[in-house]
């Protein structure tokens, strides 16, 4: 088991040190940042090939299936942006307060230029999410998939 010694020496119910989550090689990071810019929106970001693929979702990422939301593709962001919270100063691009709304890992099921299916494992967002690109533009539809009956 990775980090065995590290974990054995610490009682994480008592120390505030990192618990030493080990990243599954098949797991990637996602984050949703609440961004109080000119218009409040939520930035949905998925780690893909070393960068954060990003979309601005004006109405936020739905927590229930059946709700479709517009997601506008924005520029790729660096991976460490997933930890960013703070205030972008007035006059700068995206000026306003950024807060992490949810974050976690995801398992990719399908990632192409037109369609993305991922299983999110966040605090708030859990389950399969689909992004479908509309025509050849920047607009995508984002929704949660209905639970599969097993
Ligand atoms: Mn933004």
CA 22 to centroid of ligand 1, rounded, Å: 29
At 82 the three-state DSSP class reads helix
Q: Which of 122, 132, 126, 131 is CA-nearest to residue 147?
A: 126
Checking if the pLDDT of 2 tops 90, the result is: no
The 10 Å Cβ neighbour count of residue 89 is 8
How does pLDDT run across 13-66, given as a tens digit for each residue?
A: 999 898 877 766 667 999 999 999 999 999 999 999 999 999 999 999 999 998
**pTM for the model:** 0.82
CA 148 to centroid of ligand 1, rounded, Å: 32
pLDDT score for 106: 96
Give me 94's structure tokens: 């995206």
Which phi-psi region, left, alpha or beta, contains residue 20 (left: φ > 0; alpha: ψ -120 to 50)? left
Neighbours of ion ligand 1 (CB under 5 A): 35, 43
Phi, psi angles (nearest 5°) of residue 86: 150, -165
CA 56 to centroid of ligand 1, rounded, Å: 6
CA 41 to centroid of ligand 1, rounded, Å: 6
CA 123 to centroid of ligand 1, rounded, Å: 21
DSSP letters spanning 54-86: EEEETT---SSTT--EEEEEEEEEEGGGGG--E
């Amino acid at each position: 088991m990775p980090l065995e010694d590290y974990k054995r020496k610490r009682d994480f119910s008592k120390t505030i040190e990192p618990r030493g989550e080990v990243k599954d090689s098949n797991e990637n990071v996602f984050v949703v940042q609440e961004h109080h810019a000119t218009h409040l929106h939520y930035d949905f970001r998925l780690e893909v090939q070393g960068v954060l693929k990003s979309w601005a979702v004006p109405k936020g990422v739905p927590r229930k299936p059946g709700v479709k939301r517009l997601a506008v593709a924005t520029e790729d962001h660096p991976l460490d942006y997933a930890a960013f919270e703070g205030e972008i100063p007035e006059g700068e691009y995206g000026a306003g307060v950024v807060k992490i709304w949810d974050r976690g890992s995801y398992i990719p099921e399908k990632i192409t230029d037109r369609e993305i299916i991922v299983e999110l494992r966040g605090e708030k967002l859990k389950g399969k999410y689909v992004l479908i690109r509309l025509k050849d533009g920047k607009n995508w539809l984002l929704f949660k998939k209905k639970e599969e009956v097993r």
